[in-house]
Each structure stands twice: as structure tokens, then as C-alpha cells.
A and B are shown apart, each in its own frame.
Chain A
């Protein structure tokens, strides 16, 4: 049985894709952009409709369509070596650009290239620019290489917002920038973010009432994508929080596709994105063993709210800059290790697992060193598995299951020895 928050999210998504399908007829303009560091409040303040190609790609993965799309892109000359999100998107475009609800997606009026934490984004939208022949607004977000946000980095982004992004949004929408509208949306973002953080931190309870990775990606859906800064997102997170409060009161574990988890034998932290093509099978490998993920880094690619960041309506452009700078994949590797070590400690994890995906060098390069450093620093043993985001050829179920089972057995032995 689905909970109210699940139904609410499903409706939100359906309404959004319906609005996109009607956009041309209703004269609405459409902006394609990326998840990390996105400027959803700013885009929405111009009454523009966002489309997030990464979300389309992962939905294609979950609907078992990505393999065909990737093949289509590779047939047209895209290398087998590069990001499968990009190839899935290009393949989907060649097959009619049909969105997750079965309705066609409109062409973009603007490609808002938020170059945050991922080099591939730049090439992705250059490829789309060739397909669509529409303007591109580029927001270059510098890397937090020294483990902190430098004032000149913030200033650089704010200047780009003023001189490049806002003028192009004005041009495409035909509207003037309304800073008060932006502020009011940022106020709503902050409200939703408070409840989201409460939800994520509920995993500190024993048993954890949530799975902070597999269920976490659903919880993050509205705030990472088209709904941050809307009343809908506030309502969603309030509803979700209420449900989880009830679960805590009843000492219930997370809800899985096969119903509520009965026991909690292993508390894990996960680094890296999930595999989408076998998402449920992958999740099942954990909950069948009573393993629950209590914290994850993938759920921070759209913002480190649990580390204190909130959108600040009093400093609207500066807060958008800080948000973009602070996304997980824009952190230095030492900062990522620090964060994971904190998660392992604060969430009292028995172990941590790295899911290294072939498509995403931004995540993957350095993960083997991170694993070693985390083991040394925390004394908690780690596991390492490899898969991909949306390429079904890179998900070897038997191999991954075997590794997870062996790892959990090792955790048991370690407990026994202690």
C-alpha cells in the first residue's frame, strides 16, 4: 500500500510532465538544466518550466528503456567509454523524446548549463545545442578544491547570474527579473529543506525508519528537481515527515517495495550513485539481509542541507551561489572523506559501501583511495562494488549479490570477534 507522500509525489510528477506536454500549446517556455547546483527557484520565478535530462535518463533506466537508447546513441558515433546518462538522453531524443509518463517532452527554449561538479555537463549541453539550435546560458561553478567556499568564488557566480543567466532568462521568458518573487520562493525552499533534513536525520534512530539511499532517492526527488521553492514541495516534505514520525513512534523500519522491513541487522553508509536499471533488485540485495542504509552521499548531489545549508531569502543571489558551490560532487576528495567519516560516526554505521559507477568520473575517480582512508580513520570495514547508472550491460547481479553477502558475513564475523 502506498503512503500519502508517495501518492503526492507521483501526482506532482504527473502534473509536471502534463504541463510540459502542453507547454507549446499554452505558450509556456521550457528550460533544460541539470540537478546539481540547479537554479530552480530562479527559473520558476520567470514562470519557466524546467526539464532535467538526468532525471529523464534515470527514469528511462528504471523503465528498462535506457539500454536501447544507449545503443541508439552508440550507433550514431558516441563512444562506449563515455557517460551513459548522456547517451541515454541522446538516444531518447532520437526516438522521439518521449518522457517518463509516455508524453513527448517539448524542445528547450534555453539550455541552462549549470556546470557544477561534473565536466561532462558541459559537453552534454554542447551536444544538445547542436540538436536544438537554441541559446545556452553557461554558469561556471568553481571547484571547492581547498575544502571551503572562497569569497571570490561566490562573487564570480553572482556576477555570472547578473550578467549572463538572468538576462537570458529575461530574454527567453519575456519577463523582468522579480527579486521579491525569487525571495518568496527561496523562503519556501528553506521550509522544505528543514523537513527534508529532519527526514534524513531520522536515520539516527534505531531502528532507522528510513533507508537513506534507496528510499532516499525518492525523498530527494521533489527538492532536487522541479519543485524546490514551491508550496507543493513544502507540503510533500511536511507529509513525509508526519509519516516518518509515526514510524519512529511505532519503532518501525523502512518501507521497501516488499513492505516494511522487519529487522535491522546492519547499518550502512553508501558512497556513490545507485544503479537505476536494476534498482529494485539492487535494493532487495540489502533489505533481504536486513541491511539498511542510514546515510548516503548520492542524496547530497543536490545540496548538503544536512550540513547546515539553507536557501537564504535575504541574500538571494549569494545563496544560489553557495548552494551550487556546496553540492557533494563539487567537494574536494578530502572533504568527501571527512563527510563520510562523520556519517559513519554520527549514524553509528557498522560498515560502508562504495558503489562505483562507470559513467561518473566525478564520483568514481579516487574512490579506492577514499575507501582505504575511511577504513584507516574509522576502523570500520568498507566494501567496493562496480556498476553503472543506466547501462544494463554493467550490472552483474550475481557478482554484486555475492560481494554484498560476503561483506555482510564479514561484518558478522567482526562482531563475533568483538
Chain B
């Protein structure tokens, strides 16, 4: 018997949820948020596995002993995952330069697991092709050699072009999901879309792209989904340590339709397609220099820290912004006053709260988000 559209979507979301919190499979290279050039890993026949902490599903037994109380949550759950054997099947770990915590975590990994492959991915903060570009190319050449060694096979340009094409498809599917969400957030609620995105951390990109497209098709055709009386908001600050899924559900129940966010930013770091002709490695370099997403851990030579947020607010016809950053997250929290000032100057409503990946009580957040949503609707109606 054929399932109804709503049952198909529910199946898709269940599958996504199962994948979203799965251990990385064999022949994977783990990477921490935010950005690593996954194409280079994929081209070697390895799976790039995004590690976004243990969420609220992992009891921390040993991880807390490695970190002081004022350090954010994601390193302690990541260490816990490793010490409890969940990451044993990884062939290596990549730590991109996002903040001092992740940077030092790379050194802890070197000390705790001296026999495993560990690399710190030092993304350039200089965007001149002759300077930062040259440095980044050198970093990518090293990573390419390392992946070749681990995989035991060369990465030729054709394989790399193929991987770029695969990820172009994946990014296009994600862009479509975000566009659809922005148009009809009640049809593509964040609490579902989040799981669909998160699944991409533990399955091949081809499979993930198909999952996203299945979900979009199913949700589009699910006529039981009705427009809701919600306020359209942009979420900011969640690019690294992830909120518990329950928090996203809470925001929706509090009357917030999330029309844009910075969750899993690394999956859509490169804005647009990377060209397939010419030198594929140089294309990766150029894409980083010219088409990167804007976020707190990336330097903006031109200033205007809030430009991306204001653009998102306008493009998505949002009505407010929620700063929702992990406790002790230096990049997000140091940036926040600049973003708040810009929103104030533009007269855009906003509210702020913090979370950690294992936050279990949402009553206060629900009240705050609900009041915010109500105030937007009242304010908009007047």
C-alpha cells in the first residue's frame, strides 16, 4: 500500500534522524566545524564525516575531566565520543581554525591519540590570491597528499572535478531547501530540516543530496501542512556547537518560523557552484577566497560585520533576529555586540539567549521566544 505524502515525509525525517546521530562509518575522515574542503577527502574515496559534538544524547563521563568549567561543551563531548570508542573507525581528524578551543583540541588529539592522523586546517585570513591564496594552496596540496596516503591511491584532477561536481549538487540541494523554507517555513519546519541537514555528516554526499530532494518533494506535496501564525525570524550564532533538537522544536512552538540560520554553515560555506574547468585545486582555493560564507571566525577586511545578517533579514523578509549562541562560544559572543548595534541602528527587533548542546530545560527559552514572537506580531500589526 502506498504511503500518504505526510507518511513519506515522516519516513524521510525518521531516516534523517537515524543518520544524523550515527557513528561515522569506516574509511571516514572526521572534521570539526566549520569549513574543510570536503571535496579533497571525497576524491580520495574517503567519507568526510562532520563531527558536531554529542548533543543531548551522550552522557559525559570522562570528557569533563579534560576541560575547565568555563570551556564550551563541544570539545568535551567530542573527547567523550573518542574515548568511548565512537570514533575508532575514523582514519583521521581535521580541526579547522575556528577558535582557540578547536585549535587546542587538535593538540589534545595529537597527545591522546599519537598513532592517528590529525591535521589542523589553517584557513587564511588574508584573501589576496597572491598571498592568502598561495598559502591556502600549499595547505590544500599537503591535505591532498595526506588523503592520498591514507586512501592508498592518488587523487587525480578528474577525480577532484567529479567530487567538486558532487558537492556542487549537494550545495544546490541545500540552497533549494533554504529557499523553500524561506518561502513557506510552515511546510519545511527547521526542526525537520535540521535533521535532514545533519544526516549529511555521516552519509556520502550523493546519498545526502537524494535525501534532501526526497524531503523537499515530500513536504511540498504534503497538503496537510498549513500556514501558521508565526513570526519570521533569522537565527544567528549556531555555526559550531549545535543546539539540542528540542530547542529548535521549542522555538517553533513558541511561534517562531525560522527562515534562515547559520547551522551547519560548513555544508554551504561556498556560496554558489565551484567551476569544473581548469585546475580543480585552484578552483577550490579561489572559491574559498571569493565565495566563502561570512561568519564570526572569518576576518572581514572590509568591515561591516553585520552586513550578512542584515542582507539575510531583508532577503528572507524576516521580522526579527534571535541570537542563539552556545555558552562560552568566543566567536559568536564576541561578535554579538557588533551585530546587535547594527540591528538597533536598522530598527530590527532582536532577542538573545544562550544554550549548550545538552540543555534540557526549555521553559525559559519558550517564554522568551514566545514573548519575542508575540511582540513582533503585535508590533507588525500596529
Q: Which 3 interchain pairs have the tightest Cβ spacing?
A: A333-B107, A145-B120, A123-B334
A119-B99 in contact (CB<8A): yes
Q: Which of B111, B120, B128 has the most CB of A within 10 A?
A: B111
Chain A residues with CB under 8 A of B131: 156, 159-160, 163-164
Q: B68's contact among A77, A78, A163, A364, by CB below 8 Å, is which?
A: A364
Q: A119's contact among B135, B330, B333, by CB below 8 Å, is which?
A: B330
| Closest-CB distance, B192 to chain A (whole angstroms) | 31
- Given contact pairs A77-B336, A156-B131, A82 touches B71 in the complex (Cβ within 8 A): no
Chain A residue with Cβ nearest B136: A156
Q: Does B374 contact A (CB under 8 A)?
A: no
| Closest-CB distance, A301 to chain B (whole angstroms) | 13
Q: A82's contact among B98, B124, B333, by CB below 8 Å, is which?
A: B333
Chain B residue with Cβ nearest A80: B333
Q: Does B331 contact A (CB under 8 A)?
A: yes
A138-B301 in contact (CB<8A): yes
B71-A364 in contact (CB<8A): yes
A361-B330 in contact (CB<8A): yes
| Closest-CB distance, A142 to chain B (whole angstroms) | 5
B334-A145 in contact (CB<8A): no
Chain B residues with CB under 8 A of A332: 106-107, 110
B135-A369 in contact (CB<8A): no
- Return 16 A-B CB contacts under 8 Å, by A number: A78-B337, A81-B327, A81-B354, A123-B330, A123-B335, A138-B126, A145-B122, A153-B135, A156-B124, A163-B130, A164-B126, A164-B128, A337-B111, A361-B71, A366-B66, A366-B105
| Closest-CB distance, A174 to chain B (whole angstroms) | 23
B338-A368 in contact (CB<8A): no
A140-B103 in contact (CB<8A): no
Q: How far is the CA of A76 from the CA of B87 in the complex (A)?
A: 42
The secondary structure that dominates the A interface is helix
Number of interface residues of A (CB under 8 A): 50
Within residues 169 to 203 of chain B, which ones have a CB less than 8 A from any CB in chain A? Answer: none
B125-A138 in contact (CB<8A): yes
Contact with A along B292-315 (1 / 0, CB 8 A): 000011011101010000000000
Chain A residues with CB under 8 A of B126: 138, 140, 156, 160, 164
Q: A120's contact among B300, B334, B341, by CB below 8 Å, is which?
A: B334
Stretch at the interface among A126-134, A316-324, A345-353, A398-406: A126-134
Chain A residue with Cβ nearest B79: A369
Chain A residues with CB under 8 A of B333: 79, 81-82
Contact with B along A195-222 (1 / 0, CB 8 A): 0000000000000000000000000000
Within residues 319 to 377 of chain B, which ones have a CB less than 8 A from any CB in chain A? Answer: 327-331, 333-338, 340-341, 354
B125-A115 in contact (CB<8A): yes
List residues of A whose CB falls within 8 A of some B CB: 76-79, 81-83, 86, 115, 118-120, 122-124, 126-127, 129-130, 136, 138, 140, 142-143, 145, 152-153, 155-156, 159-160, 163-164, 332-334, 336-337, 356, 358, 361-362, 364-369, 373, 386
- In the complex, number of A-B residue pairs with CB atoms less than 8 Å apart: 156
| Closest-CB distance, A8 to chain B (whole angstroms) | 35
List residues of B whose CB falls within 8 A of some A CB: 65-68, 70-71, 75, 97-101, 103-108, 110-112, 119-120, 122, 124-126, 128, 130-132, 134-135, 138, 296-297, 299-301, 303, 305, 327-331, 333-338, 340-341, 354
| Closest-CB distance, B238 to chain A (whole angstroms) | 15
Beyond A82-B330, A164-B131, A334-B107: 15 further Cβ-contacts under 8 Å?
A79-B336, A81-B330, A82-B333, A82-B334, A136-B301, A145-B107, A156-B124, A164-B126, A332-B107, A333-B104, A334-B111, A361-B104, A362-B103, A365-B103, A365-B105
Q: How far is the CA of A83 from the CA of B337 in the complex (A)?
A: 14
Q: How far is the CA of A337 from the CA of B252 in the complex (A)?
A: 47
B130-A159 in contact (CB<8A): yes
A119-B297 in contact (CB<8A): yes
Chain B residues with CB under 8 A of A77: 336-337, 340
- Given contact pairs A79-B336, A123-B335, A140 touches B100 in the complex (Cβ within 8 A): no
A362-B104 in contact (CB<8A): yes
Q: A156's contact among B70, B135, B299, by CB below 8 Å, is which?
A: B135
Chain A residues with CB under 8 A of B138: 152
Chain B residues with CB under 8 A of A164: 126, 128, 131
B101-A140 in contact (CB<8A): no
Chain B residues with CB under 8 A of A358: 68, 70
Chain B residue with Cβ nearest A384: B68
Q: How far is the CA of A79 from the CA of B339 in the complex (A)?
A: 13
B135-A361 in contact (CB<8A): no
